[in-house]
Amino acid sequence: MRFAHAGIATDDAAALAARFGDLFDAEVVHEERFEDLQVVFLALENGYLELLEPIEDGTIAHYLEDNGPGIHHLAVETDDIERALERARELGIELIDDAPRRGAWGHEVAFLHPRDTGGMLVEFVASEH
C-alpha cells in the first residue's frame, strides 16, 4: 500500500488551497463537487492533500461542528481493495463500508472505523489500472 492523501476538513477550501499552494509549492490538480462537498486536491511529490469543504449539511459539516477544521482522514492506495477490506476484517477492524463505493475523482473507496485504527479515520483507495 502507498500513501494516497490526507483529507482535511475546512470551512474555506479555496483559501486553504491558496495557503497550501504558497506554503508547499503545491498545485491544485483536481476540483469537484462530490455529494455535499466541494473537494480540492493539491499535488505533493508523494501524494495529495484533499480539502473537504461542506456546501450543504452532511458528514463533513457535522465533523466541523464537532471538531473544527483539521485532518479528517488518512487515505492509502491499494492494488486490491477487496483484499484490503478482508484483511481488516481478519484483524477485527470495524468497517464503515463493507464493500467499496464510489469516491471523489471516481475512485473506489472504503473506510475503516477510527475506534479500531488509533482514532484516525482510514480510507482505502483503489489504484487506477
Q: What average pLDDT does this structure show over 18-43? A: 96
Closest of 11, 1, 2, 17 to residue 72, by C-alpha: 11
Q: Are 9 and 64 in contact (CB under 8 A)?
A: yes
Which residues make Cβ contacts (< 8 Å) with residue 6, sequence separation at least 6?
Answer: 47, 48, 49, 50, 71, 73, 74, 75
The three cell numbers of residue 35 are 455529494
Q: Are 123 and 100 in contact (CB under 8 A)?
A: no
Domain carrying residue 118: 2-126
pTM of the model: 0.93
State pLDDT tens for residues 65-100.
999 999 999 999 999 999 999 999 999 999 999 999
Give me the residue label for grid cell 464537532: 66
